[in-house]
Amino acid sequence: MSIFRRIRNTFSRSKLRQEIDAEIQAHVEMRIADNVVAGMSPEEARRDALIRFGNRTVVRERMTAMDAATALDAFGRDLRYAARQLRRSPAFTTTALVTLILGIGANVVVFSVLNAMLLRPLDVPQPTGLYNVVHKQQGYDNQSYPDYVDFKNKNSTFSDMVAYRIEMAGLSTKEAAYKCWYYRVSGNYFDMLGVQPAQGRLFHASDEHGPNSAPYIILSHNFWRRYFDSDPRIIGTTVDINKHPFTVMGVAPPAFHGTEMFLWPDFWMPIVDNPDIEGTDFLSWRGAHNLWVLGKLKTGVTPQQATDNLNAIAHELARENPDDDGLDARLTKPGWMGDQFGAPARSFLAGIMLLAFLVLLAACANLASLFAARTADRSRELAIRLAIGSSRWNVLRQLLAEALLISVFGGTLGTILSTGLLKALTRWQPFPEFPIHVTVSPDAKVFLVALLLSIGSGVLWGLVPIRQVWATDSAQVMKSSGAGTIVFRRFTLRDLLLGVQITLCTLLVTSSFVALRGMQRSLHAPLGFQPQGVLIADTDLHMGGHFGASVTKIRKRMLEEVGHIPGVTSVGIIDETPLGTGGSSSLVYREGTTDFRPSNSAFGAKYFGISPGYLQASGTRLWSGRDFTWHDDAKAPKVAIVNEKFARSMFGNADAVGRRFMWGDKLSYEVVGVVENGKYDSLTEMPWAAMFLPLEQNPNSDNSLMVRSPLPPDEILPEVRQALAKIDPSLPFVFHTWSDALAFVQFPARIATATLGVMGLLAAMLAVTGVFGMAMYSVSKRMKEFGIRVAVGAQPVQLMRAALSRPVLLLLCGSAAGLLLGVIASQLLAQIVYQATPRDPLVLAGVVITMAVLGLVATWIPAQRALRIHPARLLREE
């Protein structure tokens, strides 16, 4: 009979009965027929047939009972029995459940994030074969538009290639104005990605006919829903973007949010349109590297072939155009803003995944010890079961059923909890001023992993008592009183597991301390400015329709009006806030350079446009020379203020003030001041050379007004807002304190610290329960021995040594190993957290004290129990 029929039989017992009855009935009827043929009367024939057959009910019961004894039924019985056993020992069950919920839950959360960030492809209809084209050098990820066009037209390995950049603009309708993030994309963008419109239509390559030829935008579904009430009549109407009219052509589908993983833009615009009329026209400038290029490989082409192909083109371009000197190409996984955030995020995530897995392993080690102890305590019951004829396999299957039941139950609860957590994480918008969403909702892959982890861990710790069951000699166990046969001298697998667990815990505790100290230090790091007490008002003057001379006029008015507010000590303007949205960088040349190839440059430098007064308002210290004045305008000679690093690199140790250098515009600049070094992009960066230029000589519509005041920001804010509104009510401003703005650069470090902290806490809890369980168990099993020792005069110290030497030894070795690993792991951490170093007496002391406290907590109760032994009572009980 096939297994399927057995299973079916188990569920349809009645059907089996019917079949058996029919078979018996046929038998009896055939006998009756034969009897009648042999000459009996019908009644006689029937009676004879029934007597010959015997008791039909008994036969039927014997047959159905056979089916009930199939494996499936036995498994169900095992589970029911396991559930009963577990209900009977709530302490064990609760401990195991909580441990598993934490262990598996942590893994599900980390894996979901990993899955969303690394494994899932870009969220577009046709994600296969997509790669960002970046430069070989890390961090140089952008291409210029002419290079993009050449790459796109000359390559033979990509089916298509798109370019995009992400910008901000003011979108205004008759009723309202919004500050928006949007994509400027090449015409073939939607076609290459296979995106279909939700409303209206999307633009194509054929809509592009040179600069400003396609004044259309495509709204994101979210933006359309929130601000236009999903009204389809919006299609074909006109909205103003930075005061220029654009027609709404269509709406993108709900799931599509561009080609960067976490950014959700408000609309898309053809790249040929330029709402920054005054801004430099980058479409024809080969040196302006400000685009992301995304290509789709032809089927059958490997990334390596494509890279070689692009590099050959790059080589050719470099020969033809001085601006392309040194051009090369590399492919990278899309969605991560090139490679800048991708590489460290990836290694960090992989590291955290490893840690989460190790935490689960530690949890399993704990459960294995607990389970082994429980099995040892039940050795009598097991021995009886073996003695009355149960097979060892049956006993083992029973134990495994218990482990699996708890694991799957705990895994399910853990998954439910972490799904809730992930949903919250998906809703979370870490920075109000950026449209960033981290979509990490779990998918089928995550649930599969959760199930596998549950079953895997169940089997892992459920199989630990195998040897115990196999070695059980029922006669021996039943003769002696309980489990007296367990040997404590030898180091066992259990000890090793516990040691590994303590090592892991110390590693995590060390890492969290290192990260915490780094965070603390980064708050006091020399930034090159003083963010405390500075309120920032961000805007883009183009959004108010200010161009040319109007820009200077309005800036002067801002500084004047806001500077007169009582309580404001100084005001200044910078185009892009350091450690904010990031600045630009460019190559600089020594005085006298005539050939401006990149290879002839001196070095790359960050540059910022600032107003007079910025240095004072930002708290940037001027070492020598002077600040700018309003006389350093477009007509005056070109001047610059440089930082120390710049001055040293360009001019050596000599005083830089009065010296000259050249920039990419082939003009000579005079250094009029030297300021302190600072942090410009991230807290962990190496010192950059930087230069500050007068806004007048380096026009830019980005405008961050810095207002320094000893008053609290919320007191000064309304007055600043009022003063600015008086100057131009149509300008949208975003207000924040500089300290808050720094949250953005501290974000990775904060996430790292929080994650490590949570993992460390988990590991610490597991280590405490592990050590506690082991010490407690060993004390309880040796009560009799201790009683005798006390009776013959052992001192408390001797008793303690006997009871706790093993756990304490493990604690010491594990902590030492963990600390060592922590020191090594900190090198990875240093990429994310400012000045992460374990060579810090506070960190080392913190780790040692933490582990000592953990050890004390874990061994306190067992030690008390060992000390309170009353020999007479104990011996009497036995």
| Chain contacts with another protein (rule: CB under 8 A) | 1, 6, 19-20, 22-24, 26-27, 29-31, 33, 52-56, 58-59, 62-63, 66-67
Which of 60/597 has CB closer to another protein?
60
- As measured in angstroms, the least distance from the Cβ of 61 to another protein is 9
Which of 26/754 has CB closer to another protein?
26
- As measured in angstroms, the least distance from the Cβ of 387 to another protein is 24
Which of 27/120 has CB closer to another protein?
27
Whole-angstrom CA distances from 679 to 392, 531, 642, 643, 830 are 68, 12, 14, 11, 16
Answer yes or no: are the C-beta atoms of 342 and 332 closer than 8 Å. yes
Phi and psi at residue 157, to the nearest 5°: -115, -15
| Separation of alpha carbons 809 and 631, rounded Å | 75
- As measured in angstroms, the least distance from the Cβ of 113 to another protein is 51
Which of 62/315 has CB closer to another protein?
62
CB within 8 A of 842, min separation 6: which ones? 513, 517
Which of 64/474 has CB closer to another protein?
64
Per DSSP, the three-state class of 169 is strand
- At residue 485's C-alpha, the angle toward residues 483 and 488, to 5°, is 105
- As measured in angstroms, the least distance from the Cβ of 386 to another protein is 23
- As measured in angstroms, the least distance from the Cβ of 54 to another protein is 3
Which of 56/392 has CB closer to another protein?
56
Which of 23/473 has CB closer to another protein?
23
> Which of 665, 664, 680 is CA-nearest to residue 606?
680
Which of 19/281 has CB closer to another protein?
19
Answer yes or no: are the C-beta atoms of 238 and 246 closer than 8 Å. yes
The sign of the CA dihedral 353, 358, 359, 363 is positive
CB within 8 A of 412, min separation 6: which ones? 454
CA dihedral 335, 336, 339, 343 (to 10 degrees): -120
Which of 29/685 has CB closer to another protein?
29
| Separation of alpha carbons 186 and 190, rounded Å | 9
Per DSSP, the three-state class of 878 is coil
- As measured in angstroms, the least distance from the Cβ of 365 to another protein is 42
- As measured in angstroms, the least distance from the Cβ of 25 to another protein is 9
- Structural tokens at position 48: 């004879």
Which of 36/337 has CB closer to another protein?
36
| Separation of alpha carbons 165 and 185, rounded Å | 7
Which of 21/320 has CB closer to another protein?
21
- As measured in angstroms, the least distance from the Cβ of 18 to another protein is 12
Answer yes or no: are the C-beta atoms of 192 and 183 closer than 8 Å. no
| Complete DSSP assignment for 125-150 | SS-TTEEEEE-SSTT---B-HHHHHH
Largest CA distance in the chain: 138
The sign of the CA dihedral 152, 153, 154, 160 is positive
**b or e along 389-406 (b: 16 or more beta carbons within 10 Å of the residue's beta carbon)?**
eeeeeebbebbbbbbbbb
- As measured in angstroms, the least distance from the Cβ of 255 to another protein is 53
Which of 54/389 has CB closer to another protein?
54
CB within 8 A of 61, min separation 6: which ones? none
- Which ranges in 574-687 belong to alpha helices (H)? 614-618, 644-651
Per DSSP, the three-state class of 663 is strand
Answer yes or no: are the C-beta atoms of 583 and 607 closer than 8 Å. yes
| Separation of alpha carbons 617 and 530, rounded Å | 9
- As measured in angstroms, the least distance from the Cβ of 73 to another protein is 13
Whole-angstrom CA distances from 753 to 738, 779, 825 are 22, 38, 14
- As measured in angstroms, the least distance from the Cβ of 12 to another protein is 16
Which of 37/176 has CB closer to another protein?
37
Beta bridge partners of 250: 200, 218
- Structural tokens at position 130: 């997509």
- As measured in angstroms, the least distance from the Cβ of 47 to another protein is 14
| Separation of alpha carbons 250 and 236, rounded Å | 8
Which of 60/120 has CB closer to another protein?
60
Which of 51/91 has CB closer to another protein?
51
Which of 75/470 has CB closer to another protein?
75
- As measured in angstroms, the least distance from the Cβ of 38 to another protein is 12
Could you list the beta-strand ranges (E) of 676-740: 690-694, 702-708, 734-737
Whole-angstrom CA distances from 386 to 389, 391, 473, 475, 478 are 5, 6, 9, 10, 11
| Complete DSSP assignment for 386-436 | HHTT--HHHHHHHHHHHHHHHHHHHHHHHHHHHHHHHHHHHH--S-TTS-B
Which of 4/839 has CB closer to another protein?
4
- As measured in angstroms, the least distance from the Cβ of 15 to another protein is 13
- As measured in angstroms, the least distance from the Cβ of 49 to another protein is 9
- As measured in angstroms, the least distance from the Cβ of 32 to another protein is 11
Which of 52/80 has CB closer to another protein?
52
- At residue 288's C-alpha, the angle toward residues 287 and 291, to 5°, is 130
- As measured in angstroms, the least distance from the Cβ of 378 to another protein is 33
- As measured in angstroms, the least distance from the Cβ of 30 to another protein is 4
